[in-house]
Amino acid sequence: MDEIEKIISRYNEAYIADSFRSLDDINKFTGTFVKDVAEIYDCITRVRNIDRNPTGFNIEDAPILGLLTRIWKLLKEVIIYYEKDNAEIISILERPLIEAAVTAEYLLMSDSSVIEDYRKCSYKDRLRILRELKEGSRFFETKAGKRLLKSVQDKMDLEGFSEDDFKVQKKNRWKLQGKTFFDIFGEITDDEDLYKYTYGMMSESIHGSWNESMDWCLQKNEDSTFSVYPFYHGADVRFICPTLKFCNEPFRLWLKRIDCEDENMINVLNWIERVNTRIFMIFDQKYDGQGS
> Is residue 83 included in any domain, yes or no?
yes
Contact yes or no for 107/115 (Cβ under 8 A): yes
Whole-number pLDDT of residue 13: 85
Is residue 288 one of the residues assigned to a domain?
Answer: no
Tell me whether residue 138 is in a domain: no
User: Looking at the domain assignment, is residue 33 inside a domain?
Assistant: yes
Residue 289: per-residue pLDDT: 65
pLDDT of residue 228: 94
DSSP code per residue over 137-183: -GGGGSHHHHHHHHHHHHHHHHHT--TTS-HHHHHTTT-GGG--HHH
Q: Residue 66 domain-assigned? A: yes
pLDDT at 215: 86
- Rounded to two decimals, the pTM is 0.89
Q: Which domain holds residue 207?
A: 2-123+166-277
Q: Is residue 220 part of a domain?
A: yes
Instruction: State the total domains in the chain.
Output: 1
Q: Is residue 252 one of the residues assigned to a domain? A: yes
Dihedral sign for Cα atoms in the order 272, 188, 115, 150: negative
Residue 211 pLDDT: 86
**Per-residue pLDDT at 167:** 95
Per-residue pLDDT tens digits of the chain, which is 292 residues long: 788 989 999 898 889 889 999 999 999 999 999 999 999 999 999 999 999 999 999 999 999 999 999 999 999 999 999 999 999 999 889 989 999 999 999 999 999 999 999 999 999 988 888 888 878 888 888 998 889 888 988 999 999 999 899 999 999 999 999 999 889 988 888 666 666 666 666 677 777 788 888 888 899 999 999 999 999 898 999 889 989 989 999 999 999 999 999 999 999 999 999 999 999 999 988 887 654 4
Residue 147 lies in a domain: no
Q: Are 23 and 236 in contact (CB under 8 A)?
A: yes
